[in-house]
Amino acid sequence: MPGLTFTATGKQAGGEARTGLLETPHGIVPTPVFMPVGTQGTVKALTPAMLQEAGAGLILGNTYHLYLRPGRELVKRFGGLHRFMNWNGSILTDSGGFQVFSLGALRKITPDGVLFQSHIDGSKHFISPEVAIGIQEDLGADIIMAFDECTPYPATYDQARISLDMTVGWAKRCRTARTRPDQALFGIVQGGTHLDLRREALEQITEIGFDGYALGGLSVGEPKETMMEIVHEMAPRLPVHHPRYVMGVGTPEDIVRCVDCGIDMFDCVMPTRCARNGLLFTKEEKVVIKNARYRDDPSPIDDTCDCYTCRNFSRAYLRHLFISREILAMILNTIHNVRFYLRLMEDIRISIQKGEFDRFKKGFLKAAAEGDSAEDNAP
CA dihedral 232, 58, 309, 289 (to 10 degrees): -40
Q: Residue 112 catalytic?
A: no
Which among 264, 267, 302, 303 is annotated as catalytic?
267
Contact of 305 with 336, CB cutoff 8 Å: yes
HSE of 288, CA atoms in CB hemisphere, 13 A: 13
**Is there a catalytic annotation at residue 267?**
yes
Paired sense of beta strands 265-267 and 33-35, if any: parallel
Residue 237 CB contacts under 8 Å (≥ 6 apart), including other chains: 199, 202
End-to-end CA distance of the chain: 56
Catalytic annotation, pick one of 94, 138, 148, 264 = 94
Closest CA relative to residue 93, chosen from 52, 137, 63:
63
- Tell me the C-alpha distance between 27 and 30, whole Å: 10
Query: Distance between CA 315 and CA 295 in Å, rounded?
Result: 8
Q: Give me the active site residues, please.
A: 94, 267
